[in-house]
Amino acid sequence: MKERTKLLLIAAGFLAAYYIPWDHEVIRRSGLEAFMMLQEYARQHVLTCLIPAFFIAGAIAVFVSQASILKYFGAQANKILSYSVASISGTVLAVCSCTVLPLFAGIYIRGAGIGPATAFLYSGPAINVLAIVLTAKVLGWQMGLARAVGAVLFSIVTGLLMAFFFRREEASRTAGQIYLPDEDGKDRKLWQDALTMLTMVLILVFAAFARPSDADAAVWKMIFAAKWYVTGGLMIVLAVMLKSWFVKDEITSWVQATWGFMKQIFPLLLAGVLVAGFLLGRPGYTALIPERYIVGLVGGNSLWANLFASVSGVLMYFATLTEVPILQGLIGSGMGQGPALSLLLAGPALSLPSMITLSGIMGIKKTLAYCAIVVVLSTAAGMAYGWLVV
């Protein structure tokens, strides 16, 4: 961290302590909500979602060769293959907008092009099979279908637009990239690396598997009941793989890479959660900005209502699957169908914590462009859907 940044943080902390009226009831409630949201996040997501995601990111950085990353996601990779793989990645990863960040950082830092990388970044939390099924069941099959189609399409469009807007910077960043064979001389086969990565992804999927509602199908309840047995079994399998196929230096490098991602991402993420909790609070709890104001601004299907829903969704943090009951309550309070879809397409893909973290990974300019693309596409989709269902 630069010395100027440290000075600005210290100054900001001093000014906040000096000027913010902490004795005011609303400010005190908002401060409490910030830490309550942080506690909720720590209890529900850090151990089961973020920690596995950090280890996967570290494994990508160490076990997956740069040649493989460049082959499938690099600037010179086959566009149809790279965007197809990136756009459907969310069907495997049931992650939220924050949990996907270490995975995005892993492939982007290893040389993935900004287009496929941001397509992956959007699709990870947006194209969640469980969330889409729950959306169709709770909010109607039309909404579920619109969310599924919009999420797949938007991930590709977002990636293509990012690649176009930053084509010159990407050309400079990837100018020295060439496809090289693995240089470490290891005897491990490609299928062994792939199976190891798949095992870690399955650990993430089962560990983060959300509790189904009483109305959900019996199969989801069975999976949830067995999730920790399956997760434990997968961890044993992973330990055997690491012992049999990997040397000590590789495992040490893996742990070091994981720690590097944690140092880079985790502090920004926690700060973002605190800010989001202070401004917006947890679902059902009022903070600095009351929920009734948001509901009052997203009725009907006007451009403003859809735009406001998209921006609100981008700022708010949604844990995996929580957006559906939140939307159910908002629709019951008068929210229009179009703004509801706008929020569904923008909310899970972004949040204030993830934006703060993304700016440290790919820079402020690219982060703002990515957020703007998501807002514009979500707003347009909401308006179109609102007209169709009237």
Res 361: pLDDT: 86
Kindly give the interhelix angle for 364-389 and 303-315, rounded to the nearest 10 degrees: 130
> Which tokens sit at 93?
């990863």
In terms of Cα–Cα distance, which of 317, 267, 336 is closest to 40? Answer: 317
Torsion of Cα atoms, 42 then 43 then 46 then 52, to 10°: 170
Burial class for 8, CB neighbours closer than 10 Å (0-12, 13-18, 19+): exposed
Distance from C-alpha of 255 to C-alpha of 1, rounded to nearest angstrom: 22
Range list of β-strands (E), 201-358: none
Residue 266: in which H helix or E strand, if any?
helix 248-280
> Which tokens sit at 230?
């399956």
Please report, in tens digits, the pLDDT of each residue of the chain (390 residues total): 568 777 888 898 899 888 888 889 889 988 898 898 888 878 877 787 778 878 887 887 777 665 666 566 766 677 787 888 777 776 655 566 677 788 788 788 877 788 888 988 888 777 766 677 767 877 888 888 998 888 889 989 999 999 899 888 877 766 555 444 444 445 677 788 889 888 988 888 888 777 777 777 788 888 889 999 999 999 999 999 999 988 888 899 889 988 887 887 778 778 777 887 887 777 667 788 776 776 677 877 889 999 998 998 888 777 656 677 677 767 776 788 899 999 989 887 888 888 888 888 888 999 999 999 999 999 999 999 999 886
Res 235: pLDDT: 94
